[in-house]
């Protein structure tokens, strides 16, 4: 990576000495992690550290209704959590080392679903969705905990298209690179839901679909967690690091 040079004066004991600051000429990619409903940033942190080591600025955070704000879990809506994600995105992009044109978003389950809405409101170049959930458009302002879970299970077993669902409509307009990760034995987000997402990404620059054999929704086995980490790191290395030239400094951002 080429460096830019700046001559500076350093004041010491009322005298001035000359120094030179060398800094990267190019900014680096930013990566935003969005956890699922009932999760937290803790599991994302380990993967974020690995990806930051590849030369990216990573940001993990806790959605409202989780961890320190768990008291709000009964009242938080999809609208509230989307606002959280947009605020986290804006904070990441404001980092002086981040290239605002090179942002990756990694969302799991509920976080993956809301990440599609983010892609319609902010610039996202790479979108990784692990077992992205799907919800009907109505009841957007109804607390998430009040949504009918039986109806949700039925809804996700049906194939939907971009004209019938706003999250899928956002996918249909996405032109970046996409990673879809499915769990073979998922009781919450079935294969049909992944097929709805996959069909919606008709304008994507590239689409990678991986299935973790034997895995459940939450990747409860350590071997399944490791399998997902390998898939994600490999894809990020190809898409994000491969799109740049040279090595990048290490940055990790964490907010509760």
The yes-or-no verdict on residue 256 having pLDDT over 50 is no
Question: For residue 247, what pLDDT is reported?
Answer: 42
Question: For residue 54, what pLDDT is reported?
Answer: 87
What's the distance, CA 255 to chain centroid? 15
Domain boundaries, the chain: 26-255
Question: For residue 97, what pLDDT is reported?
Answer: 86
The yes-or-no verdict on residue 140 having pLDDT over 60 is yes
> Using one digit for the tens of pLDDT, what is the confidence trace for 174-228?
999 999 999 999 999 999 999 999 999 999 999 999 999 999 999 999 999 999 9
Question: For residue 9, what pLDDT is reported?
Answer: 77
The residues, any chain, with a CB within 8 Å of residue 102's CB and separated by 6 or more, are 27, 28, 29, 30, 125, 240, 243, 244
> Using one digit for the tens of pLDDT, what is the confidence trace for 145-165?
999 999 999 999 999 999 999
pLDDT higher at 28 or 189: 189
Q: How far apart are CA 75 and CA 141, in angstroms?
A: 10
Q: How far apart are CA 254 and CA 22, in angstroms?
A: 27
- Strands 15-24 and 3-12, by their bridges, are antiparallel
What's the pLDDT band for 119 if we cut at 50, 70, 90?
Answer: very high
For the chain, helix, strand, coil in percent to 5 are: 35, 25, 35
Q: How far apart are CA 107 and CA 114, in angstroms?
A: 8
| C-alpha atoms less than 13 angstroms from C-alpha of 210 in its C-beta half-sphere | 18
26-255: CATH class:
alpha beta
Q: Pull the structure tokens for residue 220.
A: 């409860």
Question: For residue 246, what pLDDT is reported?
Answer: 43
Q: How far apart are CA 191 and CA 208, in angstroms?
A: 15
The yes-or-no verdict on residue 106 having pLDDT over 80 is yes
Helices then strands (H, E): number in the chain?
Answer: 7, 9
Q: How far apart are CA 227 and CA 131, in angstroms?
A: 14
The yes-or-no verdict on residue 251 having pLDDT over 60 is no
| C-alpha atoms less than 13 angstroms from C-alpha of 40 in its C-beta half-sphere | 10
What's the pLDDT band for 236 if we cut at 50, 70, 90?
Answer: very high
pLDDT averaged over every residue in the chain: 89
Question: For residue 5, what pLDDT is reported?
Answer: 65
């Amino acid at each position: 990576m080429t460096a830019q040079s700046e001559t500076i004066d350093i004041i010491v004991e009322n005298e001035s000495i000359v120094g030179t600051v060398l800094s990267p000429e190019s900014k680096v990619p930013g990566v935003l992690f969005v956890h699922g409903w009932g999760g937290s940033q803790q599991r994302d942190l380990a993967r974020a550290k690995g990806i930051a080591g590849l030369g990216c600025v990573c940001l993990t955070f806790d959605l409202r209704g989780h961890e320190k704000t768990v008291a709000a879990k009964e009242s938080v809506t999809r609208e509230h959590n989307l606002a959280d994600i947009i605020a986290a995105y804006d904070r990441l992009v404001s980092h002086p080392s981040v290239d605002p044109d090179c942002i990756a978003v990694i969302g799991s389950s509920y976080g993956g679903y809301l990440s599609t809405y983010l892609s319609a409101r902010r610039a996202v170049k790479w979108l990784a969705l692990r077992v992205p959930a799907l919800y009907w458009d109505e009841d957007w302002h109804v607390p998430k905990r009040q949504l009918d879970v039986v109806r949700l299970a039925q809804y996700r077993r049906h194939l939907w298209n971009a004209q019938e669902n706003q999250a899928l409509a956002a996918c249909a307009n996405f032109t970046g690179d996409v990673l879809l990760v499915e769990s073979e034995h998922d009781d919450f987000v079935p294969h049909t839901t992944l097929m709805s997402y996959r069909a919606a990404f008709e304008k994507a620059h590239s689409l990678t679909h991986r299935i973790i054999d034997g895995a459940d929704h939450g990747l409860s086995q350590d071997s399944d967690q490791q399998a997902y980490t390998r898939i994600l790191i490999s894809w990020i290395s190809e898409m994000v690091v491969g799109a740049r030239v040279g090595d990048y400094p290490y940055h990790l951002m964490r907010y509760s």
